[in-house]
Chains A and B, each alone.
Chain A
Amino acid sequence: MKPFRIFITFLLVLFTFISFVPEAWAFCGFYVAKADSKLYNKASQVVLARDGDRTVLTMANDYQGAVKDFALVVPVPVVLQKDQVHVGDPKIIERLDAFSAPRLVEYFDENPCDGEAPGNREAGATRGGWEPPSFSASDEKTLGVTVEAKFTVGEYDILILSAKESDGLQTWLQRNGYKIPQGANQLLQPYIRQKMKFFVAKINLKEFEKTGSQFLRPLMMAYESPKFMLPIRLGMINSTSEQDLIVYLLSPKGQAEITNYRMVNIPSDTEIPVFVKNDFGNFYKSMFQTSYVKEDKKVAFLEYAWDMQSCDPCSAEPLNSEELRKAGVFWVERNSPNNVFITRMHIRYSRDKFPEDLMFQETSSRKSFQGRYIMHHAFTGEANCQAAQEYKRSLPKRFEQEAQNLAKLTGWNIGDIRKKLPVVASGDSSPWWRKIWP
């Protein structure tokens, strides 16, 4: 029994030494800047609003090439009819992005002579003429492809296909004017075998001209399926480079998580030097890359998890029920309280580290998390008292710590960082010999 007692003691001692994470933010500083998806050249953005098996998937379209060449092939779990597909408002994704982006906040130190501890402040929250190519029925039969549904929604001509084998599907797509890269057939096969259908979209130029827009709007689809997944493999045909994906998961239950990869919180709540204020985008990009490499490039990063009724501090106003409905949140009634929990994941994936499609699950965790970086402006006014002397003496150490934090997060050269730190004027006017024999 003795070894057993040792175990118990060991465990209890261990747990008492582990610090407990504070559950709530007492004050969250003044909002300064955000690091949204515009930082990345080719970030795909996807919104998944899900309750039970019901899902509304929104895919933002960041297509850069000639509109007539646009072709989209997405495996979907079920056959979709026209009224299950909708063209969304691109502003909604921008709103979600702004609301959930990692944020920079600032505090201003009080006058040390006022007898208040620095940094203790209340939160200051800122409140086409394309005709679908004709295809013959014999084509379908020999290639084993069935057109399950065919319709036009907004500027998109959409086909829902089911296929018997991948070579046939690839041939069919190429014959019908879809630019599909070579080698796609190997990747189409697993989806065909899993009885999945293919959502295929092209641009209807006549309809596109009517919109008068330069850009393609997001595609939305509503379906019911136990599969809570996002196929990413097709996007990695002939590409070994890293791609950025930002997924906004909206759920009435709580935080969503990824089940077949690790999910790691992005480093947060770190004090950094004030000069970052003018370069927050670069800071965040470097920090993300550093974390990504440190985690061996094979994890999903959590950037934000919050109940959408509030935010603290806000990088954008919370979405109202009308906007949430536009984002695919089907369980929220107009002008009623929102029961929506948002999880924002940033996944940088490549063929060698992310072999499998992304699988998600809802959890009941209501734990809030935000990527938040803190600047403390030193007090620069006149102050002549004992406390001010102490305060000034403490500043170099604080600046150094902030510089170390920044170097650690971003991998930037500590020497370069130190050059940009504010200079502390020595306010200590006592003779130098007093420092020898205090």
Chain B
Amino acid sequence: MLGEARDYQILFLSLFLVLGIGTRDWTLRPSMIIVAIATCLVTQWAATSFWPIFQQNIRNFFAKPESCSYPQDATKPITPLQPSYRSALITSLGLSLLLRVDNYTTMMIAGMLAILSKFVFQVERKHFFNPANFGIISVLVLTKDAWVSPGQWGEDWWYGLLFAGTGGLVLKRVGRWDTTAAFLGSYALLEAIRNVYLGWTWDVYWHRLMSGSLLLFALFMITDPRSIPNARTGRLIWAAGIAILTFILRNYFFVSTAVFWALFAIAPLSVLADFIWSAPKFSWVKATKSAENNISQPELSPN
């Protein structure tokens, strides 16, 4: 049987990739997917092995022996981190599904930066950027040969159903369905208001909403429980904020990759949301255990 919620996520994302290659005559290149997976896994291993040592060196460098502010920091033994290959694999599958590049090096940069962002941008052992999203935005900005194809999935209803069903399953196991609901609900409402104001017929509205890329984002990217606010109120407001920004970028600045920019811009605010609405930090282990035998257990790793 599958071990935990992330296994389901890996299974579904792989299934979408296979479907994409099999039925959507995509520009998906299997070799590129392998590069993405390999880069993410290797980076994850390297980062978990060397990051604590690096952190310790930084601490030692800034520690002043004569000051007795926090001497225990400098001498504290290094806690080795457990590398989470599942999380790295999910990131690489997300990149493979959403990102299109011309060169392997660009995909490697995206994978590397995606994984490293988890270690660099964290507050209290919780990263605040969605790794795949960070990787996508990084290469869109830093390289000249990366793009996202929002129309790639088409709008077949059964794709939507497949996404919604499987995503729902994952979310139910993880317990973060509210983020998707808040994001999709707010976005759908804003688009509906705009549709009425402009006077388009409703088929235009449904066509705009039934985009596979939007659903994929809403079900598999925005829901990453490690990089979203811990408390429900915080999450709802945070997701609605992403929806509003997506709406503005898409309709007033004509950015076709609006959802990714919106998440990237709003992601750091999850720190603020956690500060305002404090709630216990999400733990995969805890989620899985509680889903199976209602036992909670803390986990300390930036995965």
Contact = CB atoms under 8 A, between A and B. Distances in A.
Given A189-B198, A259-B256, A7 B208 contact: no
B152 A262 contact: yes
Contacts of B170: none
- Range class of the A interface residue count: 35 or more
Given A15-B30, A264-B25, A363-B147, A190 B153 contact: no
A261 to B, nearest CB: 6
Given A4-B7, A265-B25, A20 B31 contact: yes
A11 B14 contact: yes
B121 interface: no
Contacts of B146: 364
A355 B198 contact: no
B7 A3 contact: yes
B240 to A, nearest CB: 24
Contacts of A365: 27, 100, 102, 145, 147
B198 A190 contact: yes
B254 interface: yes
B151 A259 contact: yes
A237 to B, nearest CB: 13
Interface string A1-35: 11110011011101100101100000000000000
Contact of B7 (A7, A14, A265): A7
A364 B256 contact: no
Contacts of B147: 361, 363-365
Nearest to A361: B256
Nearest to A229: B254
A348 interface: no
Q: Which of B21, B24, B29, B30 has the most CB of A within 10 A?
A: B30
Contact of A257 (B21, B151, B156, B254): B151
B141 interface: no
Nearest to A299: B154
Contact of B145 (A4, A359, A364): A364
Contacts of B197: 193
B294 interface: no
A18 B27 contact: no
Nearest to B251: A194
B297 interface: no
Given A7-B89, A11-B37, A365-B102, A261 B151 contact: yes
A363 B10 contact: no
A126 interface: no
Given A15-B30, A189-B199, A364-B146, A355 B204 contact: yes
A258 interface: yes
Nearest to A21: B29
Interface string B60-73: 00000000000000
Interface in A203-243: 226-228
Q: Which of A8, A262, A263 has the most CB of B within 10 A?
A: A262
Interface string B1-31: 1110001001100100010010011010111
A186 B199 contact: yes
B203 A259 contact: no
B160 interface: no
Nearest to A1: B3
B18 A14 contact: yes
Contacts of A372: none
B102 A366 contact: yes
22 contacts: A2-B3, A3-B3, A7-B10, A11-B14, A12-B34, A20-B31, A21-B29, A166-B199, A189-B199, A257-B151, A259-B150, A261-B151, A262-B154, A264-B25, A265-B25, A355-B200, A363-B100, A363-B147, A363-B149, A365-B102, A365-B147, A366-B102
* 5 closest residue pairs by CB, A with B: A262-B154, A190-B198, A355-B203, A189-B199, A364-B145
